[in-house]
Amino acid sequence: MPDGREYRATSVAGLPPLQEHGPLVDHKIPQDDVVQAQPDLTWSRIRHYMREPFAEFFGTFILIMFGDGVVAQVVLSNGENGDYQSISWGWGLGVMLGVYTSGISGAHLNPAVTFANCVFRKFPWRKLPIYLVAQTLGAFVASLVVYANYKSAIDVFEGGQNIRTVPGYSETATAGIFCTYPAPFMTRTGMFFSEFIASSLLMFLIYALKDDGNIGAGNLTPLGLFFIIFGIGACFGWETGYAINLARDFGPRVASYAVGYGSEVFEAGGYYFWIPMVAPFFGCTFGGWLYDMFMFTGESPVNTEAAGLLRLAKPTRKVWSNTYEEKHGHMA
């Protein structure tokens, strides 16, 4: 497990991750206020090591509960208990409340945000897979809970207990509750571009909200996230459903496959499913680069020689590891 001291990632959550408490590599459990009053308890010890994955799991869980929940309510009630605006609200406040839930881990809630933090904000690379798995699992489980909650209504809407259909294959499809499917007129390039643009906006604006050299949103950051997500949904949500997040899209997609929506969940839109998995990584990286290149004056690879591009030619651990210095001494 990584040393808690080693990163200074920009957390979405407006607060730095809780300071970690001493070198865990020594296999000692620190006796402080974060670990319980009774640190000898097995569960407290487990939880101490698992705090960040737990936080990402539950943060993404909350996000999908509200996000998939609102789509379910709007679709299944035929718009009687909500409309497109409700969907903007649901995803916006889902992210906001997910951020409040997962401040401990930096509230990434999105593998592409974690990736951009690795590239631009010294977040440790080896945490990337852990975060990705926790986020995707959180989304997977939440979408199953939403499915269980709306099962009767889905039966009524689809016309039977064994009928589960995907947009483009049926007029009464409900798979769109769980993950995104593109509008029929979109080209492949257009789909990628739409997800790319929306992800770039997301990352650019997260870095803007978090930049103390700019205005900085401070304790209003979770509220700022509400407006960002609401805005992306209202302005760039129609064409591809603004997944902008591997965990948010792939987790529930697998869940919908598991409960019986069939292989169409992957085949629909010309195997569209990989676009919301891949495009956000490019988009968030570009958005983060754009902010750092033109606006950010803090510590960033972009603010080094040749705008950090020389790094691309030096794929060594010494250059790329965000934790190298702590382990091997300062490079000066």
For residue 178, the Cα-to-chain-centroid distance in whole angstroms is 15
Tell me which DSSP letter residue 16 carries.
Answer: P
Q: Is 171 in the site for a copy of itself (CB under 8 A)?
A: no
Asked if residues 20 and 127 have their Cβ atoms less than 8 Å apart, the reply is no
Q: Where does this chain touch a copy of itself (CB under 8 A) — which range of 123-131, 164-172, 197-205, 267-275?
A: 197-205
Nearest to 54 by CA among 103, 116, 123: 103
Name which position in 9, 56, 90, 121 contacts a copy of itself (CB under 8 A).
Answer: 90
**Residue 188 Cβ, how far from a copy of itself at the closest point, in Å?**
11
Contact 232, 155 (CB under 8 A): no
The window from 94-102, 118-126, 131-139, 278-286 that contacts a copy of itself (CB under 8 A) reads: 94-102
Considering only residues 11 through 70, tell me which ones interact with a copy of itself, judged by CB under 8 A: 13-15, 18, 33-38, 41, 43-44, 47, 54-55, 58, 62, 65-66, 69-70
Q: Contacting a copy of itself (CB under 8 A), which of 303, 320, 325, 326?
A: 303
In this structure, the number of other CB atoms found within 10 A of the CB of residue 66 comes to 21
Interface with a copy of itself (CB under 8 A), residue from 120, 147, 226, 281:
226
Count, in order, helices (H) and strands (E) of the chain: 12, 0
* Residues contacting residue 315 through CB under 8 Å, at least 6 positions apart: none
144 forms part of the interface with a copy of itself (CB under 8 A): no
> At closest approach, how far in Å is the CB of 256 from a copy of itself?
17
For residue 147 the two structure tokens come to 């499915």
Cα separation, 139 vs 144, whole angstroms: 9
Select the residue interacting with a copy of itself from 1, 25, 258, 295 (CB under 8 A): 295
The continuous run of DSSP H or E covering 150 comes out as: none
When binding is defined by CB under 8 A, the residue of 7, 10, 60, 73 that contacts a copy of itself is 73
Q: Which stretch binds a copy of itself (CB under 8 A): 161-169, 207-215, 259-267, 322-330?
A: 207-215
C-beta of 85 vs 260, nearer to a copy of itself:
85
Smaller CB distance to a copy of itself: residue 244 or 266? Answer: 244
Q: Does 76 bind a copy of itself (CB under 8 A)?
A: yes
Q: How far apart are CA 322 and CA 311, in angstroms?
A: 13
> Hey, which residues between 268 and 287 contact a copy of itself (CB under 8 A)?
none
On whether the CB atoms of residues 251 and 155 are closer than 8 A, the answer is no
CA separation for the pair 205, 168 (Å, rounded)? 34
> CB-wise, 266 or 307, nearer to a copy of itself?
307
Q: Which is nearer to a copy of itself, 38 or 263 (CB)?
A: 38
- CB burial of residue 171 (10 Å; 0-12, 13-18, 19+): exposed
- Nearer to a copy of itself by Cβ, of 128 and 145: the residue is 145
Instruction: Write down the least CB distance from residue 263 to a copy of itself, Å.
Output: 27
* 145: its two tokens: 């809970």
Number of residues that bind a copy of itself (CB under 8 A): 97
